[in-house]
Amino acid sequence: MKKAFPNVSLLLLLLLLVLSLLVVTTISEPRDQVVEMKCGRDREANSSIFIVNFVATMENISEQMRTNGYGEAVVGTGPNANFGLAQCYGDLILLDCVLCYAKMRTLLPQCYPYSSGHIYLDGCFMRVTNYSFYEEIRGPDDKAICGNATQKSTRFQESARKAVLDAAAMAPRNGGYAKSQALVSGSVNESAYVLANCWRRLNSSSCKACLDNAAMSVMGCLPWSEGRALNTGCFMRYSDIDFLNAEQQQQSSSGSSKAKIVYSQLDSQVEYIFSLLNIFYPCFLDFLGRTDDAVKMAKILHDSSLNFKFSVLQKATGSFDEANRLGQGGFGTVYKGVLADGREIAVKRLFFNNKHRAADFYNEVNIISSVEHKNLVRLLGCSCSGPESLLVYEFLPNKSLDRFLFDPNRGKALHWEKRFEIVIGTAEGLAYLHENSNNRIIHRDIKASNILLDSKLKAKIADFGLARSFQEDKSHISTAIAGTLGYMAPEYLAHGQLTEKADVYSFGVLLLEIVTGRQNNRSKTLDYSDSLITAAWKHFQLGTAEELFDPNLMLHNYNSESDMKKDILRVVHVGLLCTQEIPSLRPFMSKALEMLLNKDHILPAPTNPPFIDESTMELNDNSSDPSHPLNATSSPSVASMSHSSFYPR
């Protein structure tokens, strides 16, 4: 298996660009251009049941497509049932069919939460709905789509009509598929090309009725050079360009023996390639213009043995049972799972792929697979073989720090020594990310909900969906702003200039939250009007910082109360140094760590923190709108920002 993989990696690398050229020297195309995708109007009745049924339907159809170029499946009953059908058109070889279907399988789940949808590609078709539609030949969505680039001559129109009628007549007698070509009178090089295809479930009379209707519809596109009929039970296309795959045309010619030999050799690999495409294609779909990213993803998944089967993770989580839900954020929902070997895992379920989520998915896998540290959460694997992308992490039983810090009762478990351990662990993890010689990384979303706690309440940094690699020779990264209000450095929030000092600022906010048990971006819901940073700065200046201490800090014996207060005040001091308005004055993480550990280190006086007008920040705060997608979390985030959350916020 491992020896064969590099050859398959090459196929994946060239997936839609040159794979077809490896088949034969003549043209072979999966024709995976989308003609139309349409979703139904009725929402699913029960999300959990519907999704399980949908995934099973896709899996069943996949098994059939890789050998027959056609598949159908029925899973479930009632309003959450899934009736599915997929078919490639008759001139596609099996390998091209696999590629065409892989794209449909990735796109159609975007119809969720609606219970039905259909998609026409130029090489294949798929439909899924909650009732049996297999015998239907007409429907309200039947239409013709006409190309309007070129108006053709009267002679071409005559040839096109002849070719359309010929194909419509031949297909019912030929298993539902036919193609035809009609030379334009008076021309040596111009022809009209036609493909007609019925779904295999239709008998010959139903096929004829469907194509007769499609023929009348598509001929209405003349005099334009291109026309397609999208009917409930069939598909028809005419064009002045030869879009038909040439291999099928040539199988009866004298040159067909060579093609058949190549087909035979490739057919033996189709099943293997198909299984790999099911794994990789959804992940690569949004990176087709980014070859390096696709190669990296393939290498990561292979070299690190990261891939999990969707069915394995589905079973481990009890089909994503609500009882196993650990938390939910704007980027997905996290479930506890138990593998067959007894290992406990956390599965981040990134609901149905789209371009932005695919980008964050790739980024998180890429970033976290390149680093390893005791204070970073460990990625165990991923899956992108179903309609959802899944990330698999080590399971941390105590979930996230915010669950303790901001809860008066749970906070009692975090006496000062535990909190200081969490501070140091987080600092060590961040220093490693920033100063790792192989791959310097800026996290961009350091906050209490992204600090996970193991069974001994030791800290691990999680959620790398927004993280970015940072090169030594760069002064900063200019990037779209992303993160959570209350934790973002002012220069980043205002100008999008990202450096390690943005993480340092967030770390400083976290230090103040750990000491006070108060959340910075929740200041107006508490009993003080200033932000936490402003309040800490004012108390520090007045020498009254002890008034902000979380009462739970005093619930544990320490060497002496005065020593503990000195240590807590030192952490407040470092927190204010990290949140200074001028980035160059903030310490690097390694220096901040040294300040925290070395009690003899004389700390410089902090300068003013940024006094941000919170009413200005509210312009981008949609927390009052419960329907806004970012309000899946408890932390208000800038409206244009998408961020992932690992455990509850």
Binding positions for ATP: 348
How far is residue 536's CA from residue 561's CA, in Å, rounded to a whole number? 21
- Does 445 participate in catalysis according to the annotation? yes
Please report, in range form, the residues annotated as the binding site.
348
Q: Give dist(CA 181, CA 176) in Å, integer.
A: 17
Rg (CA), the chain: 30
Which is catalytic among the residues 122, 240, 445, 621?
445
DSSP string for residues in 254-268: TTHHHHHHHHHHHHH
State the burial class of residue 445 (Cβ atoms within 10 Å of its Cβ: 0-12, 13-18, 19+).
buried
CA 247, 248, 251, 252: dihedral to nearest 10 degrees? -130
Q: Contact at 8 Å (CB) between 567 and 420? A: yes
541, amino acid identity: Q
Residue 481: exposure state from Cβ atoms within 10 A (0-12, 13-18, ≥19): middle
Residues recorded for the chain: 649
Q: Which residues of 173-203 are buried (b: 16+ CB within 10 A; e: fewer)?
A: eeebbbbbebebeeeeeebbbbbbbbbbbbe
**Residue 435 neighbours by CB under 8 Å, 6+ apart:** 588, 589, 590
Q: How far apart are CA 85 and CA 72, in angstroms?
A: 4
What's the rounded Cα separation, in Å, for the pair 464 and 377?
10
Query: Other CB atoms closer than 10 Å to residue 561's CB: what's the count?
Result: 10
For 94-111, give one letter per residue: b (16+ CB within 10 A) or e: bbbbbbbbbbbbbbbbeb
Tokens encoding 59: 């899996």
Question: What residue type is assigned to position 444 of the chain?
Answer: R
- Phi then psi for residue 81, to 5 deg, are -65, 155
Print the SS3 string covering 298-340.
HHHHHHCCCECCHHHHHHHCCCCCHHHEEEEECCEEEEEEECC
- Residues 605 and 519 sit within 8 Å (Cβ to Cβ): no
Alpha helical stretches, state H, 437-584: 490-495, 500-516, 532-542, 561-578
DSSP 27: -
Burial of 277 (C-beta count, 10 Å sphere; 0-12/13-18/19+)? buried
3-state SS, residue 105: helix
List 179's β-bridge partners, or say none. 195
Angle formed at CA 640 by CA 637 and CA 645, multiple of 5 degrees: 45
Burial of residue 408 (number of CB atoms within 10 Å: 0-12, 13-18, 19+): exposed
Place of tokens 């089967």: 309
Peptide bond into 113 cis (omega under 30): yes
In the block, tokens 């070889």 appear at: 93
Catalytic residues: 445
